[in-house]
Structure 1
Amino acid sequence: MTYLPATSRRAALVTGASRGIGRAIALRLAADGFDVAIGYAGNAARAEETVAAARAAGAHAIAVQGDVAQAPDVARLFDAAQQAFGRLDVVVNSAGIMTLNPVAPAGVEAFDQTIATNLRGAFLVLGEAAARLGQGGRIIALSTSVIARAFPGYGPYIAAKAGVEGLVRVLANELRGRGITVNAVAPGPVATDLFFDGKSEEQVAQLAKLAPLERLGTPDDIAGAVAFLAGPDGAWVNAQVLRANGGYA
């Protein structure tokens, strides 16, 4: 189905939106009145499910496949969103992977893969957003609250996400005078497939108890924080990292 540009509505591009936190963000933005482009890496069926749910919420929505670590793919994501909606107001980079490896030479391939997706991908998406968005635009990246915990095995993931937080602050300054905000949301443990992968029930239970609220976050918890930054009430928040973690760190 082809939609004509909906110039009276705002439009958002969300990467990594076929499942988990990215999906929740896309659907929350759809409910808040945004048309949404669903960026995904490989699972077309899951992406189309997100598109269908966004349309059910009243949004125009499309799915666009692309690897955020590849500059041509990132450009194509943005081209597709702007062609479909005639505008682009909000960009959320939620695409990411998490592998657990010690800081050791044997883990360098996993390190390189994590850096490519989580940090290089953020660099490309944020940079493309900076080139495309106009006055009042919002750029939001996903970081992680595990940075403050420094758990063994999280070295590659923490290194990449710490880099993302640095990029957010630098880009906010580079966009001085253009009326575009750049922020990050740093979730604590959130009940997603990415979080559960490779963890035992005992480990999950321990992590759930770390925050004073004594539960795992939900994708909707994080989507609410992103929606705040993307909406009118977040207009004066810039170059910040919002740690949505229940007091975890």
Structure 2
Amino acid sequence: MMDHSIKGKTVLIAGGAKNLGGLVARDLAAHGARAIAIHYNSPASRADADRTVADLRQAGVEAAAFQADLTTADANARLFEEVVAALGRPDIAINTVGKVLKKPIAETSEAEFDAMFAVNTKSAFFFIKEAGKHLNDNGKLLTVVTSLLGAYTPFYATYAGSKAAVEHFTRAASKELGGRGISVNAIGPGPMDTPFFYGQESADAVAYHKSAAALSPFSTMGLTDIADIAPHIRFLVSEGWWMTGQTVLINGGYTTK
């Protein structure tokens, strides 16, 4: 019987320096990962990446940080090659990278559109491509999308739209990689209590989002807590391997499909 536990596995987390990515890195370390590669986008995130790597090493995990702007195919290829050279072929690849924009379609510029699709769509596609080439057989591949894929709402057209493509990338990749025992999924958290969320929202909108989920009254903040997402990610990249080709919305009843 194949071992689908985290123990002894090598992990790559894109966007792993802080917030959800950083928590997932620490969680997988606590569950026995052997080595974890932390990707970060720019020098602005270097200090966070270094802190996460230090924490992982303190936990007895081999860890290293890798900087790359993943909006090009070459950058994704180089990232995986550098990780393989430093830590070995990954067993698990998780992409938490994302960019949000809240703006009416009528006010959205071409430059904003291009930036959203470069970060949320193009980078996700080429991360999946390189993961397919570099993951060990029986590996796990996961992309973080958004619960807005199940929403009927204005103003998030470029955010939800650019993440929506990843749902089909996930289905296609799961078919293409299934013969190697690789499971491929996407997970869509609700609005999370991180700086990623608050920068786009007015006080009124924050208040709405804090009350919108069915389970909001039982959450200390109303919003999705990253601590409630990490166990689902851990499950999907370990014992949950039989689930593949799926986009799962984890949001306390905020949206559904």
Report if TM-score (shorter chain) is over 0.5.
yes
Which whole-Å CA distance do the structure 1 matches of 2:152 and 2:69 have between them? 28
How far residue 23 of structure 1 moved from its aligned partner, in angstroms, is: 1.3
- Cα pair 1:101 1:107 within 8 Å, conserved: no
* 1:245 and 2:256 are equivalent in the alignment: no
- Cα pair 1:190 1:217 within 8 Å, conserved: yes
**Residue type matched to 1:245 in 2?**
N
Percent identity reads: 37
1:167 to 163, 166, 169: 169
Q: Which residue of 2 aligns with 1:134?
A: 136
Q: Counterpart of 1:185 in 2: which secondary structure?
A: strand
1:217 to 212, 224, 238: 224
Q: Which residue of 2 aligns with 1:26?
A: 25
- Cα pair 1:16 1:38 within 8 Å, conserved: yes
- Cα pair 1:17 1:26 within 8 Å, conserved: yes
5+ long unaligned stretches in structure 1: 1-7
How far residue 106 of structure 1 moved from its aligned partner, in angstroms, is: 4.3
Question: TM (normalized to structure 2)?
Answer: 0.89
2:123 to 121, 127, 133: 121
- Cα pair 1:10 1:87 within 8 Å, conserved: no
- Cα pair 1:101 1:110 within 8 Å, conserved: no
Which whole-Å CA distance do the structure 2 matches of 1:151 and 1:192 have between them? 21
Q: Counterpart of 1:186 in 2: which secondary structure?
A: strand
Which whole-Å CA distance do the structure 2 matches of 1:174 and 1:202 have between them? 44
- Cα pair 2:89 2:134 within 8 Å, conserved: no
How far residue 54 of structure 1 moved from its aligned partner, in angstroms, is: 1.6
1:92-131: per-residue Cα shift (whole Å, max 9, x none)?
Answer: 0111111122223742211110100110000010000011
5+ long unaligned stretches in structure 2: 1-6, 217-221
How far residue 62 of structure 1 moved from its aligned partner, in angstroms, is: 0.6
Q: Which residue of 2 aligns with 1:149?
A: 151
Q: Which residue of 2 aligns with 1:36?
A: 36
Which whole-Å CA distance do the structure 2 matches of 1:242 and 1:179 have between them? 20
- Cα pair 2:191 2:224 within 8 Å, conserved: yes
* 1:234 and 2:240 are equivalent in the alignment: yes
Which whole-Å CA distance do the structure 1 matches of 2:176 and 2:200 have between them? 39
Larger mean CA deviation between 218-227 and 198-207 belongs to 198-207
Which whole-Å CA distance do the structure 1 matches of 2:242 and 2:113 have between them? 36
- Cα pair 2:120 2:162 within 8 Å, conserved: yes
How far residue 58 of structure 1 moved from its aligned partner, in angstroms, is: 2.2
Over 4 Å off, 4+ runs: none
